[in-house]
Homo-oligomer: A and B are copies of this chain.
Amino acid sequence: MNIVKCVSEKSEDKIREAAKRVFLKKGFDGTTSRDIAKEADMNIALTNYYFRSKEKLFMEIFKDLMEMYFQSIILILNKPIDIKTKISEVVENNYQMMKQEPDLVIFIMNEIHKEPERLLVKTALYHQLKSTLFNQQLDEGIETGKLRPIRIESILPLMTSCIEFLFLGKEMHQKIFNMSEAEFEAFSESHKDHVKAMICNYLILED
């Protein structure tokens, strides 16, 4: 999953990709049309020529990023593997994504926070999540007493929040705990393993 590094020859794509990089780093408010033009190495009028406005360009990019973020999770939730492995994979996937694109989640959260009604369009996500194989496995496990009764609404945030929050506040955590880049890397790796174990420990009841 490489978000921003691909380079197309077409001007429209160059602008879209440049805009994605700048928006992810600076947010909508912090990004100027000239920032995008400069990053794309294109004339400033081309943004509006191809996308009509900064707003339209942003909406297109935001929608793509949201889609990509959720679909990668849903893909794993539907894999035909046991629930313990599945939890590990979701956490692992989350970890790799945050390492590769540390700006993504804070960007999404912050933009939604500023204008939720504009950005949260009608979505089939609820139904998609409820009908995953993961949710079936959860229901069955709870029924047979092998799993602690927790709804998917709780389990899903648990699997993502611990890792995402660590990277969301990466600079802060590094500063507070005096960690170098390498130390944070090692620390986050061990933290990830704690998270996997902790969730499985809690959800899966011993028999």
Contact surface of A with B, Cβ cutoff 8 Å: 26-27, 29-30, 103, 106, 108-110, 112-114, 116, 120, 123, 125-126, 129, 150, 153-154, 157-158, 160-162, 164-166, 168-169, 171-173, 175-178, 187, 190-191, 194-195, 197-199, 201-202
Contacts and interface: CB of A to CB of B under 8 A. Distances in A.
A165 B160 contact: yes
B30 A171 contact: no
Contact of A120 (B113, B114, B171): B171
Contacts of A176: 123, 125-126, 129
Chain B CB count within 10 A is highest, among A103, A150, A176, A195, for A176
A182 to B, nearest CB: 15
Given A120-B171, A175-B116, A194 B150 contact: yes
Contacts of A112: 169, 171-172
Nearest to A127: B178
Given A29-B29, A162-B161, A169-B109, A154 B190 contact: yes
Given A30-B29, A123-B176, A113 B109 contact: no
A162 to B, nearest CB: 5
A171 B113 contact: yes
Contact of A166 (B113, B114, B161, B175): B161
A157 B106 CA distance: 16
B157 A165 contact: yes
